[in-house]
Homo-oligomer: A and B are copies of this chain.
């Protein structure tokens, strides 16, 4: 996944913010830390230790510290992290200072739910444009936003300075929609459709695939089964057994 073909690890720079190429895997976790910091801030906490934050986010403390070190962190040895400044650091590093405008294409079952999902607006990702192709949907209003026809993607996205697109269409429609988003200048796409999108190199696609997630879980169910049987040992009383992986994981951990 990713990684510039060019192995040159570009050295320094004196600039303000970011320090060095942050590993992909770390970026995903930084986003999780940020959420937790916000929660802690809301609860009135002022500092956290790497240990506490790690437990709360289901991560190993050393990993957490290393992750934070990539953004040049602001901890205090012997004490921990002050929540407010750390939160700021993270917001800056993750591009949360300038709010991003999100377009959502496909307002069916899932898309409708996503459009109404508070989690987005709440964390600084206002959905500012909705699109569909169904005449019954075009024109209706969801959360105060009018659903436009897909053909309007270029115009509307430009007008509203959309930087992130979400595709929640049926599979067959996804590539076409994606092409339109790309030609409208959108360079980051979250894809819920069960297809692999073809995009130019400079476009970042992330895929959320519900069926695949279930498939992965099913694998672990089956494995647990095998392991339980494999342990020919006593297994005295109760139900299923076999020690198995704990994926506190989630998205690309």
A-side residues, CB < 8 A to B, are 1-4, 17-18, 22, 24, 27-28, 30-32, 34-35, 56-58, 93-96, 98, 100, 102, 109-110, 112-114, 116-117, 119-120, 122-123, 125, 163-164, 185, 187-191, 194, 196-197, 199-226, 239-253
Contact = CB atoms under 8 A, between A and B. Distances in A.
B246 A201 contact: yes
A186 to B, nearest CB: 9
Contacts of A213: 190, 206, 208, 251
A203 B246 contact: yes
A163 B215 CA distance: 12
Given A187-B221, A221-B187, A251-B207, A202 B243 contact: yes
A15 to B, nearest CB: 8
A44 to B, nearest CB: 17
A88 to B, nearest CB: 14
Contact of A196 (B58, B117, B191, B223): B58
A211 B119 contact: yes
A100 B208 CA distance: 21
A91 to B, nearest CB: 10
Contacts of A219: 22, 27, 30-31, 93-95
A218 B95 contact: yes
A250 B218 contact: no
Given A1-B247, A202-B244, A214-B123, A226 B18 contact: yes
Contacts of A205: 246-250
B31 A212 contact: yes
Given A32-B209, A240-B187, A250-B205, A215 B110 contact: no
B212 A164 contact: no
A210 B2 contact: no
B35 A211 contact: yes
Contact of A212 (B189, B221, B241, B251): B251
A69 to B, nearest CB: 17
A125 B208 contact: no
Given A123-B211, A245-B3, A204 B187 contact: no
